[in-house]
Structure formats: structure tokens, C-alpha cells
Structure 1
């Protein structure tokens, strides 16, 4: 009898969905934008360097996270009014996921590259709706800083698409993303809500952006696999910095909500 009770408790604990705060929800939904680009980047890298197991593991991990994030967002009561918006993301994901987990080839990479844009657009629209639902200044900061995570990975994705000759416009998109990333970083830097920790992270990210731009402008003497390693490594550091900043903004929002609810 006791064994049965223990097994039942373990079952319910394992299947219990942790409720998302509004700050967590905007952060999580924002990560979906980034993951759509990182999955595509990882797929292309797997094709360029098939001997590197790290990119295959990275790909599977990102696909798994995207799916679990979808499930978590669907269970959030506050987002019930946005069910249709999330359904749009799910439908696009249903087409995207099999390609991402399928055989890697140049043709498949070009297909995934193409599909990554509408998936990103739908995910971004959902984040925007969540921001409006939250209706606070810190919600906008979570959205903007979260989008920076995505841009870091789309920059890398577009460089890899250019390198592997998947799309003729990839280089133009890359420089457009670099300009947007720099502009929005300046916007975040001006926020009155920034703490010392947030400002320190923003300044570090500015330095990494300048370093990555050198590679795209040809100022580095590196080429081929070595340049790919440096650029993807630097954009990953930019991603981690912005992820931490986004979490800090999410904490600010949740703190504001707690004060209001008292």
C-alpha cells in the first residue's frame, strides 16, 4: 500500500507543470524566438562540420526546449486569451520540427532556413501580446532584451547561410541584424530601471558585439572553420549575457507585480 502511494506521488510530481509568473512567461516566450534561430544555426553547423558531435547535441537540446516551452506557455492561465496566437506558433512548429530532427543536407538546411523566419515572426507576435497583457515598462525591457538573444543567433545563422551559400540575401540580413542589435543595446542602456549588474552586462555585450563585427568585416586574419568557431563562440557569449539581462528584467517585473498585489 505504502509503495503504491509513493509511486502515485512520484507520478504526480513528475507531471506537475510549474506555474509561470508573467515575467517568466515573457522570458520563456522570448526564448522561442531565439531557439528558432539557434536550431537552424545548429542544423547548418552540423552540415558544415558533421564530425563535430557538439552541434548535433546542441540541436537536439534546443528542439527539446522549444517543445517544453510551448507546453509550459499553454498551461499558463493568464495567457488564456492568447490561445489562438500560441496555436499559430504550434502549427508552424509542427512543420519545422521534423525537418530540424531529420537528415542533414544542404537542401534540408535551405528549407529550415526558410521556415525559421515565419516561426520567428509568430513567436515574436506572441511575445508582443504577452507584453501588452503585462502592461508595465519592465515588460517592454524583457521583450527587447529577449529579442537581443534572438538577434545574436540570427546573426550567426545568417553568417553560416552565407558561408554555405544557402541564401543570396543572407549577408544583407546579417548586417541589418548587426545594426538593429547595436541600436537596441543602446536603447536598453538608457533605461532608468537598470541596476549596476544590468549595466555591467550591457557594457560587456557591447564589447563582444564589436569583436564579432570585426570577423564579418574581414578585419580578422582567420578563415574557414576557425572563423566559424570564433564568430559562433562570440555570438553565444552575447546570447548568454542577454539571457542573464532578460532574467534580471523579468525579476523586476515580478517584483513590481508583487508590490501592486499587496
Structure 2
């Protein structure tokens, strides 16, 4: 099983890296990558907390390295693509916050003191990445653009949920973390129902959403476990959050293709 998961992870990380290298061809592609920046902001914090707790250390380091590289490349693309001065300004602000975030992630070995700073700045980076995604969706004005945004936000929520769980397990959560975790779980469930009900769904999209539903069952079950000294619960959250993210990546890609 571990060998299979390792193969899946390598495939997924390669998928993200290769997709990030491709130039932005249209507004839906821009929405996808803008939305992926939201997800990466949360995924990097999750990986940081896992490394700090010695959870899946080598895999978490690979997740961190691949996420940082993808965020860097996509930020350059999004700045270059920005179709309006307002959107350009959003990505210039995001760049400033990103540089501070990256310094925290790479400047020293993970520590609880810096972990609290990582938690705070991951929220700042997320807010700006969300702003850019919404601006691009409005620019699109299409159903496909809306679906790419909503499904792309599900990727972010999968990592946001895991981030807050791992922050709590490590003892670096703030006074809003538990409520934010619960809110994110609720938002994921509600948005998934909205996606399932979309009249734009093809048979392939419906099948992909069914796979997400299966993975959500395992992820949600892992979240219900108490954090344990032997770290089994934290490890389960680490692995299941990656599986559901992989499935959601496929869904977003299918929605992106609707208008092509």
C-alpha cells in the first residue's frame, strides 16, 4: 500500500509541476491556476506542521518543495497574464506576502514559534490568492469559469482542513482554528453537493465527483480521530488529504475543458 501511495504522490506532484509550467492560454486556465495558488498556500502550511511533528517527513518535504516551486512559477504567469490593472495589483501584493511566507517556510527548521507565524501568514496569502481568483472569475463571466472556481476552491478546502487539524495536533493553533476547521468541513460538503447538482456535468465529471465522494468519506473519518501520541491520526490526515486533493485536481481539469 505504501508503495502504491508513493507512486500516486509522485504522479500527482509531477502533474502539478508540469501544469504549472504550461503558459496560461485563456481565462479558465487562469482561474484554475489562481485557484491552485489558494490551495498551495494551505498545503505548504500543512506540510510545515507535519514536518515539525515528524509526520511522513520525507513525503511532506517533497510536498513542500513541489508546492513552493509551483507557487513561484504560477505567480509569475498570473502577473504576466493579468488582464486589468486591478488584477495586476492583486498579484503584486500577493508577491510581497509570498516572499515573506517563503522566508518563514525555508529560513529555518520548523519550530512551534515559527509555526504560529506560518499559520498567520498562510491566511494572508490565501486572502490575496482568493481575491485574484474571484477577480478572474468575474472577468470570465461564464458558467465554466464559475465551476472552475468552485471546484478549485474544494482543493483549497481539503488542504485548509488538514492545515488546521495538524496545527491543533502540534499545539500551534490560534483561537479561531477549531471554528475555521469546522467551517471548512461544512463548506466542502455544501459545495460538493452544488457541484453534483450542476446541469453542466458530463458523465466523466459525474464519475470523477463520485471518486471524490469516496475519498471524502476516508478523509472525514480520519479527521474524526483523536490526535494520538503515536501519531496515527495525524498520519491518516496527511495521507487522505493528499488523496482527495488528487481527485479534486482531476475534477477541476474537467471543468476547465468545458468551454474548449
> Which TM-score bucket, shorter chain as reference?
0.7 to 0.9
Identify which of 67, 77, 83 aligns with 1:78. 83
The equivalent residue for 1:7 is none
SS in structure 2 of the partner of residue 78 of structure 1: coil
Distance, in Å, in 2 between the alignment partners of 1:28 and 1:241 is: 16
Runs of 4+ in 1 over 6 A off after TM superposition: 220-223
Query: How many angstroms does 1:216 deviate by?
Result: 2.6
Alignment CA distance shift 1:105-1:114 (3 Å): same
The equivalent residue for 1:250 is 256
Query: How many angstroms does 1:83 deviate by?
Result: 0.8
Distance, in Å, in 2 between the alignment partners of 1:67 and 1:199 is: 32
TM-score normalised by the chain length of structure 2? 0.85
Query: How many angstroms does 1:169 deviate by?
Result: 3.3
The equivalent residue for 1:112 is 118
The equivalent residue for 2:50 is 45
Alignment CA distance shift 1:221-1:110 (3 Å): closer
Query: How many angstroms does 1:47 deviate by?
Result: 0.6
Aligned residues: 238
Query: How many angstroms does 1:217 deviate by?
Result: 2.6
Deviations 1:21-63 (A, max 9, x none): 2121110110000000001011111110078222122212211
Alignment CA distance shift 1:100-1:163 (3 Å): same
Aligned residues of 1:142 and 1:249 also touching (Cα < 8 A): yes
Identify which of 231, 235, 252 aligns with 2:237. 231
Map 1:61-210 to 2 at 5 A: 61-76=66-81, 78=83, 82-103=87-108, 104-167=110-173, 168-210=175-217
Deviations 1:75-120 (A, max 9, x none): 2263555111111211211211100112111111110011111110
Distance, in Å, in 1 between the alignment partners of 2:65 and 2:53 is: 17
Query: How many angstroms does 1:130 deviate by?
Result: 0.3
Query: How many angstroms does 1:223 deviate by?
Result: 6.6
Aligned residues of 2:79 and 2:92 also touching (Cα < 8 A): no
Aligned residues of 2:150 and 2:191 also touching (Cα < 8 A): yes
Unaligned runs of 5+ residues in structure 1 are 1-15, 256-262
Distance, in Å, in 2 between the alignment partners of 1:231 and 1:50 is: 10
Unaligned runs of 5+ residues in structure 2 are 1-20
Distance, in Å, in 2 between the alignment partners of 1:153 and 1:41 is: 7
Query: How many angstroms does 1:204 deviate by?
Result: 1.9
Alignment CA distance shift 1:98-1:202 (3 Å): same
Aligned residues of 1:30 and 1:127 also touching (Cα < 8 A): yes
Q: CA RMSD in A?
A: 2.1
Aligned residues of 2:227 and 2:234 also touching (Cα < 8 A): no
Aligned residues of 2:55 and 2:234 also touching (Cα < 8 A): no
Aligned residues of 1:82 and 1:129 also touching (Cα < 8 A): yes
Query: How many angstroms does 1:166 deviate by?
Result: 0.7
TM-score normalised by the chain length of structure 1? 0.85
SS in structure 1 of the partner of residue 144 of structure 2: helix
